Structure 1
Amino acid sequence: MDRQGAKPLLVRDYEDLARARLPADVWDFISGGSGTESTLTANRAALERIRLRPRVLTDVTACDPGTELLGARIAAPIGIAPMAYHRLACPEGETATARAAGLAGVPLIVSMFASRTLAEIAAAGSGPLWLQLYWLRQRELLTGLVRRAEEAGFGALVLTVDAPRVGRRLRDVRNGFVLPPGVHAANVAPEAMAASHRAAPDASAIERHAREQFDSSITWKDLAQLRALTTLPLVLKGILTAEDARLALDHGVDAVIVSNHGGRQLDGAVASAQALPEIAAAVGGRCRVIVDGGIRHGTDVLKVLALGADAALVGRPVLWGLAQGGAQGVSDVLGLLRDELEEAMALSGRPRIADVDRSAVVL
């Protein structure tokens, strides 16, 4: 509930509620983008430009947004994008997020820099869990994470491929952002994370840590090493071109995530919704296509499904809900998105996910 006692009616209502509850530097870390933040802004603008083409006189008595994704039946084509350090928003952190995702019946992609252990998150959740990875210079850390994810019952690995280094996020630089006491990467050895806890004037500890630990030499041939570690499905996150989508197919990935990292990496990069059609066309149904970047309403989900996505991931709004009301706040955000999607399906004359195709939108 907000301060006037009324339950938020839109996902964006949670933004102001979260801002009021979080320290200014934490808010900037969560909400900021890289450079001039032009790509951050472009993600929303691209979705706003897409308009829906409703069909009429269709039986929409029963609309079902349920679908299947990487072998799991999910309640809606919605998932939670990987984001680090949920305990910045709520003391329970990722365990609260996992409970909410499980109750909503949607997948949660857990960041390798989660602030709760994989075992704790798995124990709290009842829905599909995937593990996100960065390619670190210490390869043994990756091996250990993959093994623990398998033991905890995680269903897929998501390799972020658009971050050979962390983009320069000016809000964090100005704030000299550093992880606060009590918040740490619970699944990575402390010695590998030390830089993220060291403050320095006019510098981001997160950026400094990434420069120390991320392996910027990774190429397509390195994917074979990750494949050799596990039989779990492999997803590449950070694909923005048809060329790279085709290379992903050539290297046997099970899904790609069309993403510009929420506007936090290359400033000026194409908006996710703009990149989606060419990527969907390039893969031609040979692997799953997921998208993130600026999803704030159920109609946004319908739009990206029409452009070729199999599912949409939500990022910052989940942390807004977490900050506002813990697991219940996340549950409310996910519930809003599902209800809005179901309403959009009914009002556009497309009662099943299979009915949503390119004819549903105009660019």
Structure 2
Amino acid sequence: MSDGPVAPQPGAGRARQNVIYRAGVLGRTPAVPTDFAGLERLARRKTSRRGWAYIAGGAGEGATMRANREAFDRWKIVPRVLRDVSRRDLSVELFGRTLPAPVLLAPVGAAELAHPDADVAIAGAAAELGVPYIFSNQGCAPMEESAAAMGDSPRWFQLYWSSDDDLVDSLLARAKTIGADAVVVTLDTTLLGWRPQDLNLGSLPFARGEGIAQYTSDPTFVRIVRERIAAAAGARPEVEVTLGAIRTLLSMSRRYPGRLLDNLRSPEPRAAVETFLDIYSRPSLTWTEIESLRERTDLPVLLKGILHPDDARRALDAGADGIIVSNHGGRQVDGAIASLDALVGIAPAVDGRVPVLLDSGIRTGSDVFKALALGADAVTVGRPHLYGLAVGGREGARDAVANIIAEFDLTLGLSGLTSVKEITADALTRT
């Protein structure tokens, strides 16, 4: 049975409830748990140990992940009563699009660790809901394949600024070609955070060829790889032959474009992984490169990873068209400020000049409400849609986000409000 809705309509919360309760009359319960704790437990059972370490793990001792949730808990909603809330409007305007709800699907790298259909399934789920999916730069499918699964539905593209500017330009050009509405430049991963869950398993997905499909499908990247192979002609790299090494070679070869047998005989799959690991991040990235974006693309540019009001102001000076307040879901710096706490200072600094989105820690519809009350124009949802993917593929990702949107709709109405525009800080109190 499909539990799924189409794009959210007025009354999305009641409609979603009715689908589930009517199925309950027939003895059927939701395939995707409607509470985050239940969703997380089921996703963990469906995911390998290595996959769970990557998609659920955080930096260090997990303090930032906990802080993200604690920040939401400190704010309480103050409902108002005896208001006509029979009609509610969840829609928002972002970069020329009217979205049915202020929710986007965040970029998640190496999503095949949750489900083999990965990015294409997530893209299809977002298209059914009518909300944007931000294609991951560390995706498991070329952005063109994900775009094909979405039809005319909105999509954005996340950019990790490589150490090779030609590659950056190529990725930006492809994003334009696939009809991306915006580019999201992620700023907080110029170095990979200390992630014990992955480290204790010696597991980095990209080193196995997982999550590098945007690169292996890119003509500029392939040219770089072949130039490196040519420059190293005649050199014989020392390779320790172990069972693990053989498995890794198979993993690389399966994921590299072309026939598996040909890839096993070719140096390209291994060289592609080595090249990626060398150039995918840029620790020297500064505001100078960000300011050059206006010459590189005419797409709206949002900067993701802003946590300080001064950086938000500098982003506006650099020409940013939007800001995403994010601590990377607690995956980069242990003990960092919660994204919601950062939003409280950043929203007034931006003062409505560009859209401000909140990322990291969103789990429920009431979280969406609180984020908007504190100044966000929309939110991005990460782990919930990835966990839904693990539980039920495309339908699972769709239903996990549909549940959040449905709860947001009901929270809006039960708080005495009828539209996103009416949500202000007056609807909250801090404890």
Query: TM (normalized to structure 1)?
Result: 0.92
- Cα deviations across residues 307-331 of structure 1 (Å, max 9, x unaligned)? 0000011101111000111110011
The alpha carbon displacement at 1:181 in A equals 5.9
Aligned mate of 1:138, from 164, 188, 201: 164
Say whether 1:325 aligns with 2:392. yes
Largest Rg, 1 or 2: 2
Give the letter for the 1:92 counterpart: D
Q: How does 1:142-161 map to 2 (within 5 A)?
A: 142-161=168-187
Contact 2:111-2:211 at 8 Å conserved across structures: no
Contact 2:136 2:157 in 1 (8 A): yes
Measured at CA, do residues 145 and 263 of structure 1 come closer, stay the same or move farther in structure 2, by a change above 3 Å? same
Out of 51, 71, 77, which is 2:96 matched to? 71
Residue in 2 aligned with 1:236?
303
Map 1:12-31 onto structure 2 (within 5 A): 12-31=37-56
Moved more, 224-233 or 337-346: 224-233
- For residue 275 of structure 1, give the secondary structure of its aligned residue in structure 2: helix
Give the secondary-structure state (helix, strand or coil) at the position aligned to 2:29.
Answer: coil
Is 1:172 the counterpart of 2:198 in the alignment?
Answer: yes
Q: CA deviation at 1:140?
A: 1.2
Does 2:324 correspond to 1:298? Answer: no
The answer as to whether partners of 1:166 and 1:211 remain within 8 angstroms in 2 is no
Pairing of 1:1-363 with structure 2 (within 5 A): 6-7=29-30, 8-126=33-151, 127-179=153-205, 183-189=210-216, 213-363=280-430
Distance 1:15 1:150 in 2: 35
Task: Write the letter of the residue equivalent to 1:222.
Answer: E
Identity of matched residues, %:
41
CA distance in 1, matches of 2:164, 2:312: 27
* Matched length: 353
Alpha carbons of structure 1 residues 252 and 59: separation in structure 2 relative to 1, 3 Å: same
What is the RMSD of the two structures over their aligned residues, measured on CA atoms? 2.3
Of stretches 182-191 and 10-19 in structure 1, the one that deviates more from structure 2 is: 182-191
1:178 Cα deviation (Å)? 3.2
Encode CA deviations 1:55-105: one digit per residue, 9 max, x unaligned. Answer: 122110011111111221111101111111222211111111111101111
Shift of 1:267: 1.1
Residue identity opposite 1:254 in structure 2: D
Residue 339 of structure 1 aligns with an amino acid whose one-letter code is A
Contact 2:78–2:428 (8 Å) recurs in 1? yes
Deviation per CA, 1:112-139, whole angstroms, max 9, x where unpaired? Answer: 1111111111110142111111111111
Q: Distance in 2 between matches of 1:347 and 1:67?
A: 20
Could you say what secondary structure the match of 2:36 adopts? coil
Partner of 1:120, secondary structure, is helix
Instruction: Tell me the CA shift for residue 9 of structure 1.
Output: 2.2
Equivalent AA in structure 1 for residue 214 of structure 2: N
Which runs of 5 or more structure 2 residues have no equivalent in the other structure? 4-26, 229-239, 246-272
Q: Distance in 2 between matches of 1:291 and 1:178?
A: 27
Distance 1:70 1:258 in 2: 18
